[in-house]
Amino acid sequence: MLLESAEQPGGTSETAALRVLRKVFGYDAFRGQQEAAIEHVVGGGDAVVLMPTGGGKSLCYQIPALVRPGTGVVISPLIALMQDQVDALRALGVRAGFINSTLDLDQRRVVEAEFLAGELDLLYLAPERLRLEATKALLERGKVSVFAIDEAHCVAQWGHDFRPDYLELSMLGERWPEVPRIALTATATRATHREIVQRLGLSTARDFVASFDRPNIQYRIVPKNDPRKQLLRFLGEEHPGDAGIVYCLSRNAVERTAEFLCRNGIEAVPYHAGLDAGTRAAHQARFLREEGLVVVATIAFGMGIDKPDVRFVAHLDLPKSVEGYYQETGRAGRDGQPSTAWLAYGLQDVVQQRKLIENGEGDPAFQRRARAHLDAMLSLCETVRCRRGQLLAYFGQEPEEGAAEVSCGNCDTCLTPPELWDGTVPAQKVLSTVVRLKRERGQKFGSGQIVDILLGRRTAKVIQFDHDGLSVFGIGEELGEAEWRGVIRQLIAQGLLEVEGEHGTLHLTDASATVLRGEREVRLRKDPKPVRPPRQTARAATGGGKGAAPVDLPEEARPLFETLRAWRAEQAREQGVPAYVVFHDATLREIAVQRPATLGALGGITGVGEKKLATYGEGLLAVLAGGPQE
């Protein structure tokens, strides 16, 4: 689909890219750096695009593919989502297809023939396909307009989603030097950014880096205390009937949590690598197509999920890295509406993650990096400053106006600022207990035994090892068990204790001596009492151009909005596609508020391009004429 620049009324020039944005996607203007990135690639330049989830990355390769002659080839690791991505593009009138292992021979030959005949605007391929000489030969026989490398952080060998097949993609520039390449990701530290450039051979590419801020997401981290019940309360009080994702560390925890939610009236399905491929595909399809379903998953689920109305992402276990946390929480609120990232975190999470690193396969260098990633995640959990500010700082995007003083107003530490206290004496008591166990008894124990000794509990293990005879026995009765666990957790986060071994044994660090000698003050964060923060107001919207749909739908427009959603659900069922492929909620909100009475007025709504106007216009006008008016 090759479009030339056009002359608009009044003599102003409309670029081909802007014309595609208006006619195909239904937006009147680009956002942020989209236009600069698109025009650069349209002109034949290479680009590296770092934009947050929901920031419009896909347009940065889709529009060049529609403007330049030939077919845009998209390399994506998301085989399970390619069908939905293609369906969404076809609903816009874009000629799209994919080749992956889910196609049989006849289906693949049809797509190959379409590509060779120039009948595709976009072709999606999994990275492993490009290791096959047959795939390379196919691409050489056709006309490629642009190579888009999506989820480009997968090339980073020290990253959280490393895919070895991505290391082969540097050959694209060598084999097709005349075809522009664009690498895109929503998750990249400065180090990962450098690795993307280096490993993909994009040293001369132009960088387009947007803010990673997702202001519509409220970040909350709570002390873990019976996490499944905490999750149930969170969902019941704040997200009843909402679609969301719950992440757990193990397959067993996924299964038990999904069963727990179902028993308590919340429809939930599990997703993990231990399930057969058919079950995983069915559960993912249900999540994309149904409203209000909760998926409980390991990190095997979710990269690239396009569902715009995920209202929450909850973690019942500590993520291994800030990159992973950001990537996973970023699946919430792609539509710009208020959403929540909720994490329950406790001492055992720290012990478990340290154990996984120590017992993992990786060489010493890999383990050092893994520990550094975990330390950064612990720092985010224990921070007393704005969580959003710390998250952005991790990606090299420190807020400009005095980092520590900036308040986003939409994270738990800003809404309910934590209280700091002088924990030097409690820290000395914990460290002294660890010292005495090792020095006087030659023994090593984990946090549970330390807490029992400090509280003066004569448990079976305390009696067995004569720990009630230690001078530190019972010296910690001023704090409760949960508080002592919080002290130990924070000492680990501050590098004053280390966790090692299968049983989470506690050891002193080089820095511990300064605390024991009274040369260093230890400031600790007091775990706040559970408070339900006020509902946030989204400060971002997904649409560009025609004006974003209102975040707070006027009361008088709600009945019509629900009628439009019911109509959309029926259209989606008939076509076998997710509801958002028909229209996003944001578009339906704007329709409910504006109540357009003609096709021309309907075409002025954000997200209503020419193809969707032709497909759904008359049906929408009929709904508007006969639907609820109050």
Q: Would you give the DSSP letter of residue 226? A: S
pLDDT mean over 208-234 = 94
Distance CA 60, CA 195 (A): 21
Q: Could you give the residue ranges of the DSSP H alpha helices within 313-454?
A: 322-329, 347-359, 364-382, 387-394, 412-415, 424-441, 447-454
Q: Over 90: is that where the pLDDT of 363 sits?
A: no
Are 241 and 309 in a shared domain? Answer: yes
Q: What is the pLDDT of residues 255-306, one digit of tens each?
A: 999 999 999 999 999 999 899 988 988 998 899 888 899 999 998 676 557 7
Tell how many helices (H) and how many strands (E) occur in the chain.
26, 19
Do the Cβ atoms of 180 and 45 come closer than 8 Å? yes
Whether residue 548 is contained in a domain is answered as no
Are 48 and 96 in a shared domain? Answer: yes
pLDDT of res. 399: 58
Q: In b/e form, how buried is each residue of 474-490, taking b as 16+ CB within 10 angstroms? A: ebbeebeeebbbbbbbb
Q: What is the pLDDT of residues 309-320, one digit of tens each?
A: 999 999 999 999
Picking from 615, 585, 587, the residue whose alpha carbon sits closest to that of residue 599 is: 615
Are 446 and 560 in a shared domain? Answer: no
DSSP code per residue over 34-60: HHHHHHHHHTT--EEEE--TTS-TTHH
pLDDT of res. 361: 75
CATH of the domain at 155: 3.40.50.300
Q: Over 60: is that where the pLDDT of 156 sits?
A: yes
Are 204 and 223 in a shared domain? Answer: no
pLDDT mean over 62-82 = 92
Q: What is the pLDDT of residues 582-617, one digit of tens each?
A: 999 989 999 999 999 999 999 999 999 999 999 999
Please state the φ and ψ torsions of residue 510, each to the nearest 5 degrees. Answer: -60, -30
Strands (DSSP E) found in 152-289: 181-185, 206-209, 217-223, 244-247, 268-271
How many residues are given for the chain? 630
* Both structure tokens of 141: 């026989």
Distance CA 115, CA 72 (A): 10
Domain enclosing residue 502, as ranges: 421-526
Do the Cβ atoms of 123 and 157 come closer than 8 Å? no
Whether residue 166 is contained in a domain is answered as yes
Q: Over 80: is that where the pLDDT of 182 sits?
A: yes
Whether residue 610 is contained in a domain is answered as yes
Q: What is the pLDDT of residues 378-419, one digit of tens each?
A: 999 998 889 999 999 898 886 544 444 568 899 999 998 888
Are 373 and 465 in a shared domain? Answer: no
Q: Over 80: is that where the pLDDT of 12 sits?
A: no
Whether residue 537 is contained in a domain is answered as no
Q: Over 80: is that where the pLDDT of 245 sits?
A: yes
Instruction: State the average pLDDT for the chain.
Output: 88
Whether residue 532 is contained in a domain is answered as no
Are 508 and 611 in a shared domain? Answer: no
pLDDT of res. 401: 46
More confident residue, 305 or 374: 374
* Domain tally, the chain: 4
CATH of the domain at 613: 1.10.150.80
Distance CA 193, CA 336 (A): 25
Q: Over 60: is that where the pLDDT of 200 sits?
A: yes
Are 118 and 231 in a shared domain? Answer: no
- What residue type is 198 in one-letter code? Q
Whether residue 543 is contained in a domain is answered as no
Are 570 and 506 in a shared domain? Answer: no
Q: Over 70: is that where the pLDDT of 547 sits?
A: no
More confident residue, 494 or 63: 63
pLDDT of res. 540: 36
Are 593 and 456 in a shared domain? Answer: no
Picking from 154, 336, 343, 174, the residue whose alpha carbon sits closest to that of residue 247 is: 343
Question: Of the given ranges (104-113, 146-155, 273-282), which has the lowest mean pLDDT?
Answer: 273-282
Q: Which of 192, 209, 226 is the last residue of a domain?
A: 209
CATH of the domain at 511: 1.10.10.10
pLDDT of res. 480: 93
| Residue 372 pLDDT grade (very low, low, confident, very high; cuts 50, 70, 90) | confident
Q: Which of 509, 526, 543 is the last residue of a domain?
A: 526
pLDDT mean over 530-540 = 49
Are 373 and 293 in a shared domain? Answer: yes
Are 126 and 80 in a shared domain? Answer: yes
Whether residue 1 is contained in a domain is answered as no
CA distances from 189 to 165, 186, 276, 408 (A): 21, 10, 34, 21
Picking from 147, 141, 4, 122, the residue whose alpha carbon sits closest to that of residue 71 is: 122
Distance CA 24, CA 410 (A): 35
Question: How many other C-beta atoms are found inside a 10 Å radius of the C-beta of residue 138?
Answer: 19
pLDDT of res. 86: 93
pLDDT of res. 400: 47
- Helix (H) / strand (E) element for 524: namely strand 523-526
pLDDT of res. 406: 65
Q: Which of 507, 526, 545 is the last residue of a domain?
A: 526
Whether residue 382 is contained in a domain is answered as yes
Q: What is the pLDDT of residues 504-517, one digit of tens each?
A: 788 899 999 999 99
pLDDT of res. 272: 92
Distance CA 444, CA 257 (A): 33
Q: Over 70: is that where the pLDDT of 209 sits?
A: yes
Distance CA 23, CA 63 (A): 11
Picking from 143, 132, 127, the residue whose alpha carbon sits closest to that of residue 176 is: 143
Question: Of the given ranges (142-146, 182-186, 524-528), which has the lowest mean pLDDT?
Answer: 524-528
Cα Rg, the chain, nearest whole Å: 27
Highest mean pLDDT among 210-224, 495-509, 539-553: 210-224
Are 242 and 389 in a shared domain? Answer: yes
| Residue 189 pLDDT grade (very low, low, confident, very high; cuts 50, 70, 90) | confident
Distance CA 594, CA 616 (A): 17
Contacts of 333 (CB under 8 A, 6+ apart): 54, 214, 216, 217, 310, 311, 339, 538
